[in-house]
Structure 1
Amino acid sequence: MPQRRTVTSRSQEPRQRFAEEVRRLREQGGLSLRQLADVLGWDPSTLGKLERGQTLGGPELAQALDRYYGTADFMLTLWELAVADPTQFKEQYRQYMLLEAEAVSLWHFGVSSVHGMVQTSGYARELISAGGHRGEELDLQVEARLGRGTVLAGDEPPRFRTILYEAVLRMALRDRQAWREQLEHLMVIGDQPKTTVQVLPFSAGPFGLDSTEVTFLGLSGGRTVAYTENAHRGELIEESSSVDRLQLAYDSVRDLALSPAESRKFIGQMLEEAPCDPST
């Protein structure tokens, strides 16, 4: 049997193929990175990292490329394939990440960490490195996580609510300045029109989600799915009765949480208490 020939020189690996297409379209249009960045309104360094395969960015950037080049949903499709690539992300996260990019609303309760969409670079790096990632893999994971936050920075961001248990705010990072930046970012995020940040204080007492990190994704058409996770595994829950039970528990947590205004004051107090880096 004759050997099967490769019909294209383009990469068959999804992440690399996405990077190749970002560069090919730019060069075909005779644009520099700076010129393309000016047209799209994105940072040129981000576009450079896209072309080198160092980051995937978020769906908003892929859609911006499609609009500019008139490629329908081609770049968005390549982005989705790259995100879903099992060599880049664990199986348990792949379907969730695709749904997260489509969601019209996200409601989150964090019992141990800040939601990935509102994590700063320093915070994400310490959390991911604590899970054992090092070197280039660590850099890729941090870039991918930060790319998720671009959804909230788009022209039509989803409604986003996060309720953080006080323990999340008490677990400071080793990097003092990075921890202050994360607290400051939460305050900025909480001031955005479609974003709500609340704190569940220790004084609220026992609550139904005491061992559960959960995110509810409201999808177009009115369907809601839930994603629960711990340090070892995540589970996408689509069965309506199970989602309803989790939502009832979430509602009870929200009733116990501080109001958005009280939560902002609480985070501000945490910021005042956070130690400064003596070198700054």
Structure 2
Amino acid sequence: MPPRSNPSERQRRLGLELRKLRTGAGLSGDQAGALLEADRTRISNIEAGRLDVSRNRLYKLLREYGCPRGSYFDGLMAMAQERGKGWWDEFRDVVAPVGCDLAELESLSAAIRIHEPLFIPGLLQTEDYARSVIGESEDDKRRVDRFVAFRVGRQRVLTAESPVRFRAVIHEAALHVQVGGPKVMRKQLLRLIEVARLPHVTVQVFPFEAGAYSSFSRSFGIFGGMLPELDTVHLEHPLNSVFLRDGGHISEYARMFERLSTLALAEVDPEAAPESHESADSLSLIQHVMYRL
């Protein structure tokens, strides 16, 4: 099989980790190739994500690189599992590779932390809300339908048999932006409350009164692997979304998220009795905005 020209984020990340382990072990590309009875070009392509490596060969490389058995070892082995095509591949006619990478990353994550300063996070959007957002930049109805179906498909990670742990800090501004009009927004805000009933979902609102910190940190997502060393940060941008894999960057964004969570209102607890809301919390603020629409 010839090397691929556009590897996925998963493939690039596995290759990056293998390169770090090889150089840490003091092995050259030629020496690593000899372990697989291959040349250095094959090792180079594996480390760039352009070629897959079988689980048997990966196991051999990890052992020869001195990687001890444990969560990191198992996490790398899991990244090399032969998955075939994911559900997201059927949307490649309209969704850019980075969007499919994001869907695959979500499906592989053990935990997801999202901060959104202006919109409701995609994994929590209703179809009508998503359609209104996407329709602002896309006129072709068929393409809009496909984009909406893709966004809704991503949400299955929250309802799977083993769902991802999900935390979101949403700025109060996102509750007020009239996406699709009052009717669409009422349904969307109600959806936030309903999804927060799931035991693995936490939703907090960052209020205007908490200051400007949320604006400075902008929109980002932290996707947790089997351990922090395999976490990935995603920065969404209209023209060029970015994945960050460096440990220093990941730690900084993790600190930012915890700061946001500390400054935000208490999480949505739909089961709490109304009289228990002695002070402002996320649920009461969402309900307040919803009732004013």
TM-score of the superposed pair, with normalisation by structure 1: 0.67
CA-to-aligned-CA distance 1:96-142 (integer Å, 9 cap, x gap): 22111111100000011111111100100000011224211110000
State the partner residue of 1:250.
257
CA-to-aligned-CA distance 1:192-233 (integer Å, 9 cap, x gap): 101000000010012165352111101124421110113333
Mapping of residues 130-141 of structure 1, within 5 Å: 130-141=136-147
Q: C-alpha separation between the residues in 2 aligned to 1:78 and 1:114?
A: 29
**DSSP-derived class of the 1:162 partner:** strand
CA-to-aligned-CA distance 1:222-265 (integer Å, 9 cap, x gap): 42111011333311111111111111122111111001141011
Is contact 1:227-1:234 (8 Å) kept? yes
State the partner residue of 1:238.
245
Aligned pair partner of 2:290 in 261, 271, 280:
271
Q: C-alpha separation between the residues in 2 aligned to 1:206 and 1:187?
A: 25
Is contact 2:117-2:214 (8 Å) kept? no
CA-to-aligned-CA distance 1:161-192 (integer Å, 9 cap, x gap): 11100111110223322111100000011121
Is contact 2:117-2:219 (8 Å) kept? yes
Is contact 2:123-2:151 (8 Å) kept? yes
Alignment size in residue pairs: 200
Question: Any runs of at least 4 consecutive aligned residues in structure 1 with deviations exceeding 4 A, and if so which?
Answer: none
CA-to-aligned-CA distance 1:49-80 (integer Å, 9 cap, x gap): xxxxxxxxxxxxxxxxxxxxxxxx99x62325
**DSSP-derived class of the 1:260 partner:** coil
Aligned pair partner of 1:98 in 86, 104, 109:
104
Q: Which runs of 5+ in 2 are unaligned?
A: 1-80, 269-280
- The higher radius of gyration belongs to 2
**Quick check: 91-100 or 233-242, which moved more?**
91-100
Q: Which runs of 5+ in 1 are unaligned?
A: 1-72, 275-280
**DSSP-derived class of the 1:236 partner:** strand
Is contact 1:108-1:161 (8 Å) kept? yes
Aligned pair partner of 1:226 in 219, 233, 239:
233
State the partner residue of 2:116.
110
Distance change in 2, residues 1:268/1:122 (3 Å): same
Mapping of residues 120-269 of structure 1, within 5 Å: 120-207=126-213, 210=216, 212-222=218-228, 223-261=230-268, 262-269=281-288
C-alpha RMSD of matched pairs (Å): 2.0
Is contact 2:112-2:165 (8 Å) kept? yes
Q: C-alpha separation between the residues in 2 aligned to 1:170 and 1:263?
A: 14
Q: Work out the percentage of aligned pairs sharing the same amino acid.
A: 22
Q: C-alpha separation between the residues in 2 aligned to 1:152 and 1:265?
A: 24
Is contact 1:201-1:258 (8 Å) kept? yes
Q: How far off is 1:146 after superposition?
A: 0.5
Is contact 2:116-2:219 (8 Å) kept? yes
| One-letter amino acid of the structure 2 residue matched with residue 177 of structure 1 | K
TM-score of the superposed pair, with normalisation by structure 2: 0.64
Q: C-alpha separation between the residues in 1 aligned to 2:214 and 2:130?
A: 27
